[in-house]
Amino acid sequence: MSFTLEQLRGFVAVAEEGNFGRAAARLRITQPPLSRQVQKLERALDVQLLVRTPRAVLLTPAGEAFLPEARRILGLAEAAPITARNAARGTAGTLRIGFTAISALTVLGTWIRTISQHLPDVELTLTEMVTRDQIDALLAGDIHVGLARGVPASEVLNTRLVHVESLILACPRGHKLSELGRPPTLGDIGRHDVVTYTPIAARYLQELVISAFHGAGVEPHYVQQVSQVHSLLALVDAGVGVGLVPRSAARLRLPNLAFTEIAGLSPDIVETHCVWRAGHDNPALDSLLRLTEVNS
């Protein structure tokens, strides 16, 4: 079975006009070629689509069933070149984005709004994953771009700084550290049980915390290790200990949580980068990087 778009257009025109003469005029052709187009279509389908009567041309049951399909095929044919051009320009296509839980509170929302406003025809797939898993997914081609921490640029991966923030202290409400009347120092914090991060899944934050305490000459008592900031907050909320978290984590409110500044700690030490494969071939990603560069 094979038919052409011209045959489909001819059939649709006759079906809608109910007359070969008017359909031919609409298509700006003469009536004999139009009749041959419809006949060839009927032979290709091996069904009769139209019946001529003295007053009009009527659809057979097969013609009535085929008409919406013919319109759909023509619509797809008309849209396909536009879709291809938009994809080439980066205004259509797909974007698979990996993100950490905390980047969802900072950068990701801005990205989603930017894509919705400027790239509405781009289909988004969002996947939460820790930095290590994002790198694996980027190298495997499972995601196009990630929002991650502590990823050095290389010949394989490009990175761009997109957000910086400070570390603050999360502690249970009524905890001694929240009632000092001043921001606690790292020395103050080191006298209490500290929940920290795992050295593999959360290596970046773990190293930041260790470096901060080491720089202050403090050796805290670590009681638990977790891979996600929201998991650390849940343990602090339960009274397991206190913990250092990115400032944006203060948006995650739990009933027994309090947050406070940390005296003497350098500001803006927590960095979030967007990461993507060098030499990628996704125009939609180029568009996103261009649109978000001004905010980096």
Span 42-67, pLDDT tens digits: 888 888 988 888 888 888 888 888 89
pLDDT digits (tens, 9 = 90+) for 160-200: 999 999 999 999 999 999 889 899 999 999 999 999 999 98
What count of Cα atoms within 13 Å lies in the side-chain half-sphere of residue 197?
21
Instruction: Spell out where the chain has E strands.
Output: 50-52, 57-59, 92-99, 121-128, 145-148, 157-165, 167-172, 193-197, 221-226, 243-246, 257-260, 270-277
Distance between alpha carbon 167 and the CA centroid of its chain, in Å? Answer: 27
Given this model, what pLDDT does residue 19 score?
86
Residue 90 pLDDT exceeds 70: no
Given this model, what pLDDT does residue 87 score?
56
C-beta of residue 253 within 8 angstroms of C-beta of residue 105: no
Question: For the chain, what's the residue count?
Answer: 296
Residue 296 pLDDT exceeds 70: no
- The DSSP call for residue 249 is G
The two three-digit tokens of residue 68, written as one number? 């919406």
Given this model, what pLDDT does residue 85 score?
61
Of the candidates 120, 129, 69, the residue with the CA atom closest to the CA atom of residue 101? 129
Given this model, what pLDDT does residue 54 score?
80
- pLDDT above 90: percentage of residues in the chain: 54
Q: How far apart are CA 264 and CA 127, in angstroms?
A: 36
Given this model, what pLDDT does residue 262 score?
96
The whole-chain average pLDDT of the chain stands at 89
CB atoms near residue 210 (< 10 Å): 15
Residue 236 pLDDT exceeds 80: yes
